[in-house]
């Protein structure tokens, strides 16, 4: 097999973000070329990758506070009304004996968003420096991209409960203001992950002797 | 002799790793096989297990499941002789009317609009590819499909349906509706459709004006 030990960028080629065709690089900083195969604007690296990642990440971190403090669901029934936050929902499952469900909801609604925000911060922080281990950080990036979407679970559960429990006088469930904040956290962190360019992790380090 | 202008794809026999930018010679892979980056292990490209006409059949089956999943109630709740049913879109409308427009729009976009668009776009693209043509809509539609795909969350909704089922079974008598089974079928069929790497379609359908 022919061995190539260079990156596309070093060879003067840019990969199209959509169809991955290698295009001859444009000239000048911030230049954009049009991919001849699919027409997508192609740059050396994703546009303003780190500043966009940081901006979306900070917005998600700010909304994480109301998402956890405000009620996501309000239940009114003949027996009175109650307001549930994400954590109190987890506690309810745990105390009512559904421990498996409690662990599931806690994982996707509390642990995954927190770990995702922290991981993206580590990735965006190290990308500009090139000191860290790009192998491990690359794996972290892939895990973050895979897991993020499952945080939407609680939003869907709330939506379904609201739609189904409508017994006018007996019991009604409504979505609380926390639900919108929580959905926004998930969407913003997905956008932050998509804005991050994992190639930046490798760019600073130059060629590493890992090649087989 | 002058160098080709910027943006023109130079060598189609090469590909760059989307995560670390390392260049590779494109080697042929057998159906079901994947080519991985020697430096970071990311999948570079894969040969589809199925032929386009087989995928098209699954897409049509998934569209039927989608129609059933939306035409019938997911669950029926019975409390003291009063029954309440809800469809997915019914839940979205309820959320919207209650003033939770943001949550309603998020649920609608991720569990209805994105999956439906994915299936319709796949049908159009596969039909074009099967005819060996590349109509004017091909490149913009395939690019849009790649952008929309991460936002379709049917599998997360499926888990959400199961969690709300468990939650509601404490409060009322729960009768599974037709749509529950349709959602299970849709989740399985859609997973099969999504496992087909649409990037392969860029090569399947040829190129603009044979520029390469």
- Asked if residue B191 and residue B89 are part of one domain, the reply reads yes
Nearest to A155 among B15, B77, B103 (CB): B103
Minimum distance, in Å, between the CA of residue B18 and any CA atom of chain A: 7
A138 in contact with B, Cβ within 8 Å: yes
Length of chain B, please?
A: 212
Q: Are residues B55 and B43 in the same domain?
A: no
Clarify whether residues B26 and B102 are in a common domain. Answer: no
Q: How far is B58 from chain A (nearest CA, A)?
A: 24
Nearest-Å Rg of the Cα atoms of chain A is 22
pLDDT at B49: 85
B174 inside domain: yes
Out of B84, B163, B166, name the one closest to residue A167 (CB).
B84
Q: What is the DSSP string of A58-113?
A: HHHHHHHHHHHHS-SEEEEETTEEEEE-HHHHHHHHHHTT-HHHHHHHHIIIIIHH
Residue B205 has pLDDT above 60, yes or no: no
pTM: 0.89
B85 and B187 both lie in a single domain: yes
Residues contacting residue B34 through CB under 8 Å, at least 6 positions apart: B43, B44, B45, B46, B47
pLDDT at A30: 78
Mind listing the pLDDT tens digit for each residue in B53-101?
Answer: 999 999 999 999 999 999 999 988 887 778 888 889 999 999 999 889 9
CB contact under 8 A, B77 and A164: yes
B9 with B108, same domain: the answer is no
- Say yes or no: B60 and B128 in one domain: yes
Instruction: Render pLDDT for A98-110 as a digit per residue (tens, 0 to 9).
Output: 899 999 999 999 9
Shared-domain flag, residues B18 and B79 = no
User: What's the pLDDT score for residue B12?
Assistant: 73
Over chain A, what is the mean pLDDT?
A: 88
Q: Does the beta carbon of A132 lie under 8 angstroms from any beta carbon of chain B?
A: no
Instruction: Quickly list H helices, B42-175.
Output: 52-71, 88-97, 101-108, 114-130, 138-148, 154-168
The string of pLDDT tens digits covering residues A25-41 is 888 777 899 988 888 99
Overall number of domains in chain B: 2
Residue B16 CB neighbour total at 10 angstroms: 26
Q: Give the percent of chain B with pLDDT over 70.
A: 91
Residue B11: pLDDT band with limits 50, 70, 90? low
State the pLDDT at residue A4.
73
Q: Is B31 a member of any domain?
A: yes
In this structure, the answer to whether residues B81 and B16 fall within a common structural domain is no
Whether B212 is in a domain gets the answer no
Which residues constitute the domain of residue B43?
1-47
A13, A180, A199: residue with CB nearest B19: A199
CA distance B177 to chain A (A): 12
Domain shared by B97 and B186, yes or no? yes
pLDDT surpasses 60 at B8: no
Cα separation, B116 vs A83, in Å, equals 34
pLDDT at residue B56, rounded to an integer = 96
Which of A100, A163, A174, A187 is the best substitution to test chain B (most B C-beta atoms within 10 A)? A163
Do residues A174 and A165 touch, judged by C-beta distance below 8 A?
Answer: no
Separation in Å, CA of B88 to nearest CA in chain A? 7
CB-based contact A37 B157, cutoff 8 Å: no
Domains belonging to chain A, first-starting first, are 1-44 (no CATH), 46-203 (1.20.140)
Is B84 touching A (CB cutoff 8 A)?
Answer: yes
For A157, the closest of B79, B100, B163 (CB atoms) is B163
Chain B residues within an 8 Å CB radius of A37: 9, 139, 202, 207-208, 211-212
Rounded Cα distance between A187 and A12, Å, is: 35
Q: Could you tell me if B41 and B87 lie in one domain? A: no
Tell me if A154 sits within 8 A of A148, measured CB to CB.
Answer: no
Give pLDDT, residue A210: 45
On whether both B136 and B84 belong to a single domain, the answer is: yes
ipTM: 0.89
Q: Does the residue B142 lie in any domain? A: yes
Indicate if B123 and B172 belong to the same structural domain. yes
Q: Tell me the count of A-B CB pairs closer than 8 A.
A: 237
């Amino acid at each position: 097999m022919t061995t190539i030990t260079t990156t596309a960028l070093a060879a003067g080629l840019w990969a199209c973000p959509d169809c991955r065709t290698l295009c001859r690089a444009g000239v000048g900083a911030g230049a954009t070329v049009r991919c001849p195969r699919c027409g997508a604007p192609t740059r050396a690296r994703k546009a303003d990758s780190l500043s966009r990642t940081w901006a979306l990440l900070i917005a998600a971190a700010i909304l994480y506070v109301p998402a956890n403090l405000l009620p996501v669901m309000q239940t009114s029934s003949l027996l009175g009304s109650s307001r549930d936050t994400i954590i109190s929902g987890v506690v309810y499952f745990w105390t009512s004996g559904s421990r498996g469900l409690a662990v599931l909801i806690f994982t996707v609604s509390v642990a995954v968003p927190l770990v995702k925000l922290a991981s993206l911060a580590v990735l965006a922080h190290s990308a500009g420096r090139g000191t860290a281990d790009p192998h491990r950080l690359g794996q972290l990036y892939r895990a973050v991209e895979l897991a993020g979407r499952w945080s939407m679970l609680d939003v869907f559960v709330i939506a379904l409960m609201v739609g189904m429990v409508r017994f006018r006088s007996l019991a009604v469930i409504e979505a609380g203001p926390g639900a919108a904040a929580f959905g926004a956290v998930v969407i913003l962190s997905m956008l932050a992950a998509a804005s991050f360019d994992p190639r930046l992790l490798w760019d600073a380090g130059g060629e590493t002797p890992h090649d087989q | 002799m002058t160098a080709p202008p910027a943006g023109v794809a130079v060598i189609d026999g090469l590909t760059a790793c989307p995560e670390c930018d390392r260049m590779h010679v494109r080697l042929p892979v057998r159906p079901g096989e994947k080519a991985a980056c020697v430096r970071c292990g990311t999948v570079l490209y894969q040969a589809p297990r199925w032929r386009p006409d087989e995928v098209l059949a699954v897409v049509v089956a998934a569209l039927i499941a989608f129609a059933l999943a939306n035409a019938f109630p997911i669950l029926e709740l019975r409390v003291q002789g009063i029954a309440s049913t809800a469809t997915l879109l019914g839940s979205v409308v309820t959320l919207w009317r209650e003033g939770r427009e943001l949550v309603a729009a998020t649920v609608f976009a991720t569990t209805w609009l994105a999956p439906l668009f994915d299936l319709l776009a796949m049908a159009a693209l596969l039909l074009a590819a099967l005819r060996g043509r590349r109509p004017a809509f091909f490149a913009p539609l395939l690019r849009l499909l790649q952008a929309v795909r991460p936002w379709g969350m049917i599998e997360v909704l499926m888990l959400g349906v199961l969690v709300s089922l468990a939650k509601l079974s404490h409060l009322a008598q729960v009768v599974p509706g037709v749509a529950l089974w349709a959602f299970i079928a849709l989740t399985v069929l859609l997973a099969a459709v999504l496992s087909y790497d649409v990037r392969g379609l860029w090569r399947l359908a040829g190129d603009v004006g044979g520029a390469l």
